[in-house]
Structure 1
């Protein structure tokens, strides 16, 4: 059995679904939840965990985004479009979250074995491929130039990106996070980020090379597969795949023992976000 297979075939999977309950909450709570899970899973206090989450009208910025020359103007633009900007604590650049985008976090422990960065990405790639048997052999992982938050593990079909993966590592735990554009228009989301960067840069020379967004290289899964999935359809598939991977699934949100730790991580991401949204 390969390392990727062994990481997916856990004896017990914890499943925490926030695809409905978390919609109206700040996405900062989700990044705190993944930090909490990294801590709990990494320290052996929780089994490996899959968390599903959705947030309304949010643009999650990367660390480099807050260094845009006109970042305040760019953030104000997002607010006029009904989107709340926040800064995440994992790698990457700006991405769009809304009720047509499903986020999945796979949280694993490095306590008993080392998991390198590429292995973390490969675990998520294999998981996503198993979610969509109708796309067998079509889902590829390579950088889609012109997409927002480009990276070597952009997930695409026919050259059009529908998902991106990032990682967060903390206390011997690893949270591999993916956003899946399930419903709606991928190109419309990309155009929002295109305008964000145009307003944020305004032709100024920058040390960091921000992506030039081409909306036509992004699409939703419904557009790519000529399907009519809802986010909840995919959440059900996540549970079905977990049942195939493990003999035991424990549905569990934050436990009483984890609550104080959760509050600590929420306060930390809130404080960090407040600091990062203010241009240095």
Structure 2
């Protein structure tokens, strides 16, 4: 874990906190922002950056989800339940974002040796374990196959998943992203995605294996720790860790160069979404 900790110890961390922007902050903006930061950090224009973000009632689909045989029926169901949806530009499958889910991105430069993909995952796993070390609960990184968007770095306590990690690599920058189910019902979120797949697949055989979701394998941190925990509580824990592992911690937003880059990447992800979802219209 020493290598993972070395990634988290930066001479300078810049924090972009978008966790309280509210319902009008669209998820497409988030993915455009992380791509922007990958380029600006990867090319050395900006220091290593952490970003915190929250989106209200949004389902983030993976590219494979757009190939479901009855996708429109699944999307109609999500809309009926009050959710919007987007297709992300990184791997994985459908996940739920709402005001009880905190997303964290670590954007790091790939220097001479580069950052091995597992090292990026290990860094995020180490971070989360340190943030919640006072609860004395073992946080494991392993696939919870009956969860939504299962992967080998699902984070769980007692085989109940509360977080998933993904990575995005662009222009020598690496974005390690995690969603943390902080509050609310993990099983209710899982039930929403289970029903989405039920309606979008209708029992048909598909080339790609979509998860057979069992809602009771997912939970929020509030449920797992038995305390009412808020997104703000977790942000405080995150800031404490950054303060302890940074020579300098600054807070801010995109700079002028990054704003220009953002226009490019934001348009690109909008076009990507149109490409995958337009045939349904």
Q: TM-score, with normalisation over the residues of structure 1?
A: 0.97
After superposition, give the CA deviation of every residue in 1:172-227 in whole Å (9 maximum; x if it has no partner): 00000000000000000000000000001001111001000000000000000001
Tell me what 2:57 maps to.
Answer: 57
Tell me what 2:165 maps to.
Answer: 165
Deviates more, 1:53-62 or 1:4-13: 4-13
Tell me what 2:269 maps to.
Answer: 269
Provide the secondary structure at the position in 1 that maps to 2:241: helix
Q: Which runs of 5+ in 2 are unaligned?
A: none
Provide the secondary structure at the position in 1 that maps to 2:79: helix
After superposition, give the CA deviation of every residue in 1:3-29 in whole Å (9 maximum; x if it has no partner): 212111100001000001254221010
Judging changes above 3 Å, is the alpha-carbon distance between structure 1 residues 68 and 227 closer, same or farther for their aligned structure 2 residues? same
After TM superposition, give the deviation of residue 135 of structure 1 in Å. Answer: 3.5
Tell me what 1:218 maps to.
Answer: 218
Contact 1:66 1:279 in 2 (8 A): no
CA distance in structure 1 between the partners assigned to 2:203 and 2:50 by the alignment: 42
Mapping for residues 131-142 of structure 1, pairs under 5 Å: 131-142=131-142
Contact 1:28 1:266 in 2 (8 A): yes
Provide the secondary structure at the position in 1 that maps to 2:120: helix
Q: Supply the RMSD in Å over aligned alpha carbons.
A: 1.2
Contact 2:13 2:246 in 1 (8 A): yes
Provide the secondary structure at the position in 1 that maps to 2:31: helix
After TM superposition, give the deviation of residue 133 of structure 1 in Å. Answer: 1.6
Q: Which runs of 5+ in 1 are unaligned?
A: none
Contact 1:105 1:177 in 2 (8 A): yes
Q: Does residue 129 in structure 1 map to residue 115 in structure 2?
A: no
Mapping for residues 1-280 of structure 1, pairs under 5 Å: 2-21=2-21, 23-279=23-279
CA distance in structure 1 between the partners assigned to 2:276 and 2:77 by the alignment: 17
Contact 1:43 1:111 in 2 (8 A): no
Aligned residues: 280
Contact 1:162 1:220 in 2 (8 A): yes
Deviates more, 1:267-276 or 1:1-10: 1-10
After superposition, give the CA deviation of every residue in 1:210-249 in whole Å (9 maximum; x if it has no partner): 0000000000000000011110111121111100001210
Deviates more, 1:126-135 or 1:67-76: 126-135
Provide the secondary structure at the position in 1 that maps to 2:45: coil
Contact 1:62 1:91 in 2 (8 A): yes
CA distance in structure 2 between the partners assigned to 1:49 and 1:227 by the alignment: 30
Judging changes above 3 Å, is the alpha-carbon distance between structure 1 residues 22 and 44 closer, same or farther for their aligned structure 2 residues? farther
After TM superposition, give the deviation of residue 112 of structure 1 in Å. Answer: 2.9
